[in-house]
Structure formats: structure tokens, C-alpha cells
Amino acid sequence: MIPSFRLIEVIEGWGTLVCVVGGDHDGATVLLVPRGAALPGAVPIDLRPSRRAHVDSGATRARRAEARAKAVALLESLLDESQLHSWRSTKRFKVRTPYGTVELGRIGELKFERSDGRRFVLCVVPDFYSDLPIADVWVNLLLMLSGSPRAFFDVANYRTRRGWEPGPVPLVERAPTG
């Protein structure tokens, strides 16, 4: 099967986040970042709604709504009071790690302030995240940041003035206090 791309999100000024469909890298998420006015050999992305969207039954929509509600309830159960307030008012929240603070809430634009004050924009998503309710994506990333922050930063891509760089993100461990 010849692979193709499925549009996930156009990120203004950065590029296009796509999912590879078919081939050896099926399910991989890729950020396409143009270096010039046009990418040589670029594959056009079909932005038309899929036929599947037209055949979704009311039962399918109800199951998806229930899954979204359960995902939000799970996420909210894992947040502290400050994170919960932020989530409910802005759909974003911050997670502290030994390396700095990451703001979750927008795919492809995770703000990271390293413990020394340097700021980065990160892009990292769980496998098959486009099949999940968005709150489940945040649960996955929250759990990674809480339980295995180093693994999170090892796989995250990060943006510099030169453009996107593959992980690992350059880290500075916070000095012990006390």
C-alpha cells in the first residue's frame, strides 16, 4: 500500500500536522514544515470531509459523546485545584516537572518553560491520538509528564529559531532546594 497523509491540524506559521496512513509508518504523526515557498514533491492534502462522516449514525455520535464525557471526567479527576480551574476556563493547564513546566492544551503547541527560564514549544502526541477524545490525549501526556518526564522529553520535538528539531529536548535539571 502506498502511504498517504490525513490532515490533523494546520498550525499557523509552523506547518501542517498530518498522520501517515498506510505503509510501514502507518499511524505515525508528522509535522510538515516548509523551508521555502513550496515543498518539492509535496503531496496535496484532501480537505474534503470523508464519506464516513456522512454515514455516522446517531448511535455512533452518542457513543463518541459518551467517550468524550468520560475522558473529560478522567482528566478532571487527575488535576489539582489550580489545574482544574485553568482547564475549565481556558482548556489548558500546566504540569510541573523536575525540568520545568509544560502547558498542555493545544496539539502541536505545548509551551515548555525550562527550569532556567528558557522557553520552547514542543510537539508530542500519543500513538493513534487522532482516534482518542482530546481529553484522553491530555491524560496520556499528563501521566507521562508525572510518571516518566524524561521519557516525555526524549521523544518530544521542539521548536528553535531554525525550525523544528527532533528530541530529546535539551534539559537542565532543577537544583535541589533547602
Whole-number Å distance between alpha carbons of 135 and 133: 5
Whole-number Å distance between alpha carbons of 91 and 107: 12
| pLDDT tens profile 25-47 | 777 777 676 655 343 344 444 54
Length of the chain: 178
pTM greater than 0.75 (yes/no):
no
42 occurs within a structural domain: no
157 occurs within a structural domain: yes
What's the number of domains the chain is made of?
2
142 occurs within a structural domain: yes
- Give the type of residue at 163: G
Does residue 85 share a domain with residue 23?
no
105 occurs within a structural domain: yes
Does residue 170 share a domain with residue 82?
yes
Does residue 166 share a domain with residue 98?
yes
58 occurs within a structural domain: no
| pLDDT tens profile 55-98 | 556 777 788 888 888 989 999 999 999 999 999 999 999 999 99
29 occurs within a structural domain: yes
pLDDT score for 43 = 47
Domain that holds residue 7: 1-35
